[in-house]
Chains A and B, each alone.
Chain A
Amino acid sequence: AQSVAQPEDQVNVAEGNPLTVKCTYSVSGNPYLFWYVQYPNRGLQFLLKYITGDNLVKGSYGFEAEFNKSQTSFHLKKPSALVSDSALYFCAVRDMLAAGNKLTFGGGTRVLVKP
């Protein structure tokens, strides 16, 4: 079984400050990890993924995420947040050894960046 936890329902940050959105996961084997962003009344947009290799992954719009196997975490980060980053962020996992390709999502974290 695979699962994802996003412990914060909402994160508030001032524009220009660093942004962190937390994610922890649980899988039987090794994980593929993904971050998606959802703007109001829109679908999910892919931000970045970790498959293998460097633990620090860089993605779209200046976002990055760090894979930490010992802590089973994949926190999303941005050094300097913009008001336009305000949206709903979802972490997702897929077990590398599981049959099929389905992603399991966390409950989402709403990010509010204030000017």
Chain B
Amino acid sequence: GAGVSQSPRYKVAKRGQDVALRCDPISGHVSLFWYQQALGQGPEFLTYFQNEAQLDKSGLPSDRFFAERPEGSVSTLKIQRTQQEDSAVYLCASSKGQATQSRSGNTIYFGEGSWLTVV
């Protein structure tokens, strides 16, 4: 597609419920990122994929957070047993570059985000 597509755009979950957020990156983009943006703050890195390989998951806040990209295209971020502090915008992004091309300076393009509210 023309841009990074995320769904759902808005999700209200009851505390304890599991949620799944989907990201469809720009066609042909090798790298895929998930970021979490709390209200009024800058995005915080969660995890990074190069094709289907999850190369960096250092930003995932707990073992309730899980991300996958099984075929190297669409990715899903899953949050189990949601808590109120999980309320945030979850941004997906993609770029052409690969981890081995860290000198490339490829631009990272972001989707519109999935707005999660846990009540």
User: B91: CB under 8 A from chain A?
Assistant: yes
List residues of chain B with CB within 8 A of the CB of A32. 105
How far does the Cβ of A88 sit from chain B's closest Cβ, in whole Å?
9
Interface string of B99-115 (1 = CB under 8 A from A): 10011011111111101
Check if A99 sits within 8 Å of B91, measured CB to CB. Answer: no
B102 CB contact (under 8 Å) in A36, A101, A108: A101
Q: Which residues of B contact A108 (CB under 8 A)?
A: 40-42
Check A103 against B99 for contact (C-beta < 8 Å): no
Complex interface: stretch among A11-19, A43-51, A73-81:
A43-51
Q: Does B75 contact A (CB under 8 A)?
A: no
Given contacts A43-B110, A43-B111, contact A101 B42 (CB under 8 A): no
Q: Which B residues are CB-close (under 8 A) to A44?
A: 43, 91, 93, 110
The answer on a CB contact under 8 Å between A107 and B41 is yes
Q: Let me know if B107 and A34 touch, CB within 8 A.
A: yes
In the bound complex, how far is the Cα of B63 from the Cα of A51, in angstroms?
Answer: 35
11 more CB-based (< 8 A) A-B contacts, given A43-B112, A44-B91, A46-B110: A4-B42, A43-B113, A44-B43, A90-B43, A101-B31, A101-B48, A101-B97, A101-B99, A102-B48, A102-B56, A106-B42
